[in-house]
C-alpha cells in the first residue's frame, strides 16, 4: 500500500478548517486488504457485544445475580467504548494510527481472557468496561484511517464495503454464541473473542500501514484539545449528523440488548432460535448497506440518510402499535425489526461520512472520537431505559417505545442539521 501524498498545513489550535482529503489511488487488491483489516478491527465491538447475548439467562444463574445486573455488563462495555474513543482519538492524531491501535488490541485480548475467570458479576462488569475502552481503538481509528485516505462518495463506497465485512459480525456472533452453548459453558465465547483479537493484532502489525504522516500529526495539550473540541461542537454540519448517528445507534442498541430477553421470555424462543432470528435481522442491515452503496452517485448523501431515518421511524412506530394492542406475533416482530435494521444500513455510513467529510486529517481522530463516544454513550444509556419496568426486565412494549423515541429524536436532529446547513 503506497503512502499518501504531501501533508496539508495544520490549522491553528482550536480552529477546525475544511480541507480536502489526500489523493490516493489504490489497486483493487490494496482496497480489498484494507477492507479486510479494518473490517476485522471494526467488527471487534459487535462481536464482543453480540456473541454472549444468547447466554444471558445462563450467566444470570451461573453468577447468581439478576438479569438487570447481567445487562449492565453490556452497558459497561458501551460506556467503555465511549470513554475510550475520547482518549484514543486525540492520541491517534498526535502519535499516528498504528501505535495506539496496537496497544488497544493487545489490552482487549488480555481483558477477553480475564473475562473467562470472573468470580462474580461485579468483576465481570469492570472487565467489560476495560474491554470497551480497549476495543474503542479499533472503532475510532478505523474511521480515521478511512478519512485519511478517502473523501466524499469514495468514502461512502468504502464504508459500504467495510460495513459488509462488519455486518458479518452481528450475523455470525449470536449464532456462534448459541452453538457454543451446546458444547460448553458461556465462557467459550470469550475464548473466541480473545482469539479474534489476537488475529486483529497480527493483521495490524503485518498489513496496516500508517495513514497519518508525521508532518500532519498534531500534539495538543488539554487546552488546545479543548479548543479543537469546541471548534467541532460549534459546527452544525458536524454536530447534527453526530446526534443523528448516536440516537439511531441508541435505537439499534436497545434492540440488541433487549431482544434476547424479549424473544426468550415473552415468545418462548430457545437460545438457538433467538440467534437465528438475530441473524435474519442482521441480514436486513447487510441488505440496506449494500443497497445504499448501489445508490451512491445516483442519490445524494442527505437524501439517502433521510430515507433511512424515515424507514426506521415507520418500522418502530408500527412495532409500538402492535405491542400496545397486544396483537404481536414473533414473525411480525422480526419482520418489523428487519425493516428497522435495513434502514440502519442507510443511516450509519451516510451519517458517518456527513459528519467526518471535510474535517482536516489533523483532527480526524478527535472528530471520530467525539462521534463514536456519543454513539456508544447514547447506545448504552438509551438501552437501559428499556429495562426500567415494574419487573426490572425489558418487555416488547418498553423496548419498542424506547426505540421509537430514539428514532424520532434522530430524525429531528437530521432536520435541524439540514436547516442549519441551508441557513
- Give the pLDDT score at 30: 65
Q: How confident is the model at residue 406 (pLDDT cuts 50, 70, 90)?
A: very high
- The stretch 4-24 carries a mean pLDDT of 39
Q: Is the pLDDT of residue 16 over 60?
A: no
Are residues 414 and 244 in contact, defined by beta-carbon separation less than 8 angstroms? Answer: yes
Whether 2 is in a domain gets the answer no
Using the Cα atoms of residue 331, residue 71, residue 165 and residue 238 in order, give the sign of their dihedral.
positive
304: which 3 cell numbers?
Answer: 439517502
Q: Per the domain annotation, does 163 fall within a domain?
A: yes
Task: Supply the pLDDT for residue 123.
Answer: 95
Mean pLDDT along residues 89-113: 88
Report how far residue 409's alpha carbon sits from residue 417's, in angstroms, rounded to the nearest whole number.
12
The answer to the question of residue 270 being in a domain is yes
Q: How far apart are CA 144 and CA 303, in angstroms?
A: 24
Q: Which of 7-11, 46-50, 217-221, 348-352 has the highest mean pLDDT?
A: 348-352
Distances in Å between the Cα of 276 and the Cα atoms of 54, 167, 266, 287 are 11, 15, 17, 17
Q: How confident is the model at residue 415 (pLDDT cuts 50, 70, 90)?
A: very high
Q: d(Cα 97, Cα 362) in Å, to the nearest integer?
A: 11
Residue 326 pLDDT exceeds 50? yes
41 band by pLDDT with thresholds 50, 70 and 90: confident
Whether residue 22 is contained in a domain is answered as no
Evaluate the CA torsion angle 88, 109, 43, 244 in order and state its sign. Answer: negative
Query: What local confidence, expressed as pLDDT, does residue 131 receive?
Result: 93
238-256, pLDDT tens digit by residue? 888 999 998 998 898 889 8
Report pLDDT for 28: 64
More confident residue, 273 or 313: 313
% of the chain at pLDDT higher than 90: 28
Number of structural domains the chain divides into: 1
Q: What is the DSSP secondary-structure string of 26-74?
A: --HHHHHHHHHHHHHHHTHHHHHHHTTGGGHHHHHHHTT--HHHHHHHH
Q: What does the pLDDT look like over 159-209, one tens digit per residue?
A: 666 766 666 676 677 778 888 888 889 999 999 899 989 988 888 888 777
**Reported confidence tier of residue 20, pLDDT bands at 50, 70, 90:** very low
Query: Which of 146 and 414 is assigned the larger pLDDT?
Result: 414
Instruction: Name the average pLDDT for the chain.
Output: 81
Q: H or E segment at 221?
A: none
Q: How confident is the model at residue 26 (pLDDT cuts 50, 70, 90)?
A: low
Asked whether residue 229 is assigned to any structural domain, the reply reads no
Q: Does the structure show a pLDDT above 70 at 355?
A: yes
Query: Residue 97 has what DSSP assignment?
Result: S
Distance CA 365, CA 348 (A): 18
390 occurs within a structural domain = yes
Rounded to a whole number, what is the distance in angstroms from the first to the last CA of the chain? 42
When pLDDT is averaged across residues 53-74 and rounded to a whole number, the result is: 85
Is residue 399 assigned to a domain? yes
Question: Per DSSP, which regions of 78-182 are E strands?
Answer: none
pLDDT of 43 higher than 80? no
Q: Please state the rounded mean pLDDT for residues 338-367.
A: 83
pLDDT band (50, 70, 90) for residue 225: confident
In this prediction, residue 163 carries a pLDDT of: 64
Read off the CATH number of the domain in which 207 is found.
Answer: 1.20.1250.20
Mean pLDDT of 75-88: 83
Inter-CA distances, 370 with 79, 236, 350, Å? 13, 14, 17
pLDDT of residue 399: 94
Q: Classify each residue of 151-181 as buried b or exposed e, where b means 16 or more C-beta atoms within 10 Å of its C-beta.
A: beeebbbbbbbbbbbbbbbbbbbbbbbbebb
Asked if the structure places residue 207 within a domain, the reply is: yes
For residues 122 and 165, the model is more confident at 122
Q: Is 152 left (phi over 0), alpha (psi -120 to 50) or beta?
A: left
Query: Exposed/middle/buried for 412, CB within 10 Å: 0-12, 13-18, 19+?
Result: middle
Q: Which of 232, 417, 283, 263 is nearest to 331 (CA)?
A: 263
The C-alpha angle with vertex 227 and arms to 411 and 159, in degrees rounded to 5, equals 45
Domain housing 156: 28-222+236-422
Residue 404 backbone phi and psi in degrees, to 5: -65, -40
- Can you tell me the distance from the alpha carbon of 42 to that of 276, in angstroms, rounded to the nearest whole number? 23
Closest CA to 406 of 252, 262, 303, 284: 252
Q: What is the mean pLDDT of residues 18-22?
A: 39
In eight-state DSSP terms, residue 117 is: T
Run of H or E including 248: helix 236-261
Nearest-angstrom CA–CA distance, 334 and 280: 8
Local confidence band at 405 (pLDDT 50, 70, 90 cut-offs): very high
Q: Is the pLDDT assigned to residue 34 strictly greater than 50?
A: yes
Amino acid at each position: 500500500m503506497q503512502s499518501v501524498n504531501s501533508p496539508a498545513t495544520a490549522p491553528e489550535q482550536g480552529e477546525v478548517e475544511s480541507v480536502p482529503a489526500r489523493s490516493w489511488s489504490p489497486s483493487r487488491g490494496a482496497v480489498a486488504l484494507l477492507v479486510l483489516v479494518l473490517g476485522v478491527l471494526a467488527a471487534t465491538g459487535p462481536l464482543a457485544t453480540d456473541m454472549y447475548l444468547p447466554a444471558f439467562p445462563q450467566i444470570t444463574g451461573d453468577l447468581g445475580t439478576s438479569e438487570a445486573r447481567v445487562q449492565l455488563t453490556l452497558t459497561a462495555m458501551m460506556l467503555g467504548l465511549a470513554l475510550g474513543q475520547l482518549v484514543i482519538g486525540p492520541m491517534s492524531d498526535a502519535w499516528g494510527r498504528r501505535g495506539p491501535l496496537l496497544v488497544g488490541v493487545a489490552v482487549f485480548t488480555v481483558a477477553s481472557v480475564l473475562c473467562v475467570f470472573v468470580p462474580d458479576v461485579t468483576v465481570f462488569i469492570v472487565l467489560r468496561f476495560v474491554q470497551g475502552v480497549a476495543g474503542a481503538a479499533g472503532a475510532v481509528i478505523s474511521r480515521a484511517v478511512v478519512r485519511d485516505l478517502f473523501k466524499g462518495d469514495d468514502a461512502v463506497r468504502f464504508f459500504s464495503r467495510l460495513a459488509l465485512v462488519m455486518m458479518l459480525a452481528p450475523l455470525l456472533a449470536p449464532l456462534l454464541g448459541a452453538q457454543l452453548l451446546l458444547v460448553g459453558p458461556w465462557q467459550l465465547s470469550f475464548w473466541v473473542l480473545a482469539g479474534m483479537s489476537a488475529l486483529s493484532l497480527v493483521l495490524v502489525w503485518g498489513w496496516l500501514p500508517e495513514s497519518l504522516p508525521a508532518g500532519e500529526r498534531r500534539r495538543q495539550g488539554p487546552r488546545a484539545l479543548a479548543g479543537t473540541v469546541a471548534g467541532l461542537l460549534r459546527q452544525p454540519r458536524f454536530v447534527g449528523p453526530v446526534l443523528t448517528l448516536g440516537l439511531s445507534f441508541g435505537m439499534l442498541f436497545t434492540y440488541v440488548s433487549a431482544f434476547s430477553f424479549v424473544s426468550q421470555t415473552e415468545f418462548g424462543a430457545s437460545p438457538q432460535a433467538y440467534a437465528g432470528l438475530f441473524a435474519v435481522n442482521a441480514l436486513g442491515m447487510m441488505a440496506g448497506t449494500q443497497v445504499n452503496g448501489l445508490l451512491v452517485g445516483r442519490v445524494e448523501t442527505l437524501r439517502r440518510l433521510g430515507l433511512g431515518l424515515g424507514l426506521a421511524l415507520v418500522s418502530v412506530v408500527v412495532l409500538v402499535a402492535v405491542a400496545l394492542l397486544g396483537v404481536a406475533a414473533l414473525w411480525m416482530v422480526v419482520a418489523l425489526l428487519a425493516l428497522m435494521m435495513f434502514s440502519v444500513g442507510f443511516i450509519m455510513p451516510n451519517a458517518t461520512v456527513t459528519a467526518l467529510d471535510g474535517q482536516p486529517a489533523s483532527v480526524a481522530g478527535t472528530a471520530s472520537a467525539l462521534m463514536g463516544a456519543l454513539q456508544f454513550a447514547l447506545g448504552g444509556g438509551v438501552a437501559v431505559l428499556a429495562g426500567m419496568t415494574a419487573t426490572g426486565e425489558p418487555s416488547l412494549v418498553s423496548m419498542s417505545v424506547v426505540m421509537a423515541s430514539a428514532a424520532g429524536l434522530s430524525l429531528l436532529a437530521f432536520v435541524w442539521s439540514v436547516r442549519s446547513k441551508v441557513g
